[in-house]
Amino acid sequence: MRRAGDRPKPPPPVFIVGPPRSGTSLLYESLVTRYRFAYFSNLADWFHLTPVAATAFGIFLVRGWRGEFESRYGHIHGWGAPSEAGPIWDRWLPRTKRNCANSPKAEKQLQNTILALSGLLDAPFINKNVMLSMQIGLLTRIFENPVFIRVMRDPVENVRSILRAQEDGIGPYVDGWWSVRPTLAEQFQGADRLTKACVQVIGIEADILGDCKRHAFDRLFTVDYHDMCERPRTLLDELGTFIRGCNIELRDRLQVPAHFSRPSKNGARLNEAAIRTKLDEIAQQMLACSPA
């Protein structure tokens, strides 16, 4: 019988980050379909105070889950489906502060829960929650050699999709900001919706790159959303090779579709020129405020 001290060391976790509406949910579902990962399921999210126990109770749902690639604003249907797990993360991490936990106790609970889930499902842990884009420094402190996958989308498409989500009444709002509040938010607190959406796309990208350059640049893989839609199988093979190169054992699971249809243009009432002008304006402001 194997003693507790003889158990193999859990593999480093994998976190998918990026601006809201950049394609992170599609990549999350694709990776969980293609490879065997441990993750927070919708069942675990429902029982967010006891996610490991909920996963153990419904482990057959997780292991038997099959993706349909029809998420709605980050929610993937099915009790065994991968979840953003907002209520779980909210137990440990503040939504308005960068690179910190709610308390030292919360930090330890976060670590223990993810390591326990990885052990239970005998697989590396993976999660997508765009709020984690602001917690890369913290995650690299809690876990040894975590891997980050950054999703990028055409900025105009990304801004349009954020505005469309707001028009559809999808939440949450964080201190006046839809979904994630970037570090740049303080400079644009009273801005209009278009400006804030542009600030999110540019600002969150800057926050991710800044933290990864300081803490995990050799463990960062960047995915282009258009590329993911056009050649998902090849991209997932490349990602699998990268993750394995980070000393994480991956086991194959199922194949994904040969391609994904890209959604029609969102927020068509705003023309591309107006969005690009605003994006350029914010980028110039950032450049002017950056250290020489």
Q: Which residues contact 24 (CB under 8 A, 6 or more apart)?
A: 16, 17, 18, 74, 128, 130, 151
Predicted confidence band at 269 (pLDDT cuts at 50, 70, 90)? low
At 263 the pLDDT is 72
Residue 1 domain-assigned (yes or no) = no
Total number of domains in the chain: 1
Residue ranges making up the domain that contains 112: 10-289
Tokens of 185: 């938010």
My answer on whether omega of the bond before 172 falls inside 30° of 0, hence cis, is: yes
Domain membership flag for residue 140: yes
Contact in structure between 197 and 151 (CB atoms under 8 Å): no
Instruction: Give 289's DSSP letter.
Output: H
Asked whether residue 1 carries a pLDDT value surpassing 60, the answer given is no
Residue 170 lies inside a defined structural domain of this protein = yes
How high is the pLDDT of residue 2? 46
Q: Which tokens in the block code for residue 188?
A: 């644009």
Which of 47, 86, 265, 282 shows the shortest CA–CA distance to 180?
86
b/e 155-167 (16+ beta carbons within 10 angstroms → b): bbbbbbbbbbbbe
pTM for this structure?
0.94
Residue 2 lies in a domain: no
Q: Tell me, what DSSP letter sits at residue 72?
A: B
Residue 15 belongs to a domain: yes
152 CB contacts (<8 Å, ≥6 apart)?
18, 22, 205, 222, 223, 224, 225
What is the per-residue pLDDT across 196-243, written as a single tens digit (0 to 9) for each? 999 999 999 999 999 999 998 899 999 999 999 999 999 999 999 999
CA dihedral 235→119→114→50, nearest 10 degrees, is 130
CATH value at residue 262:
3.40.50
User: What mean pLDDT comes out for the span 123-130?
Assistant: 97
Decide if 282 is inside a domain.
yes
242 inside domain:
yes
Cα torsion through 111, 115, 118, 120, rounded to 10: -120
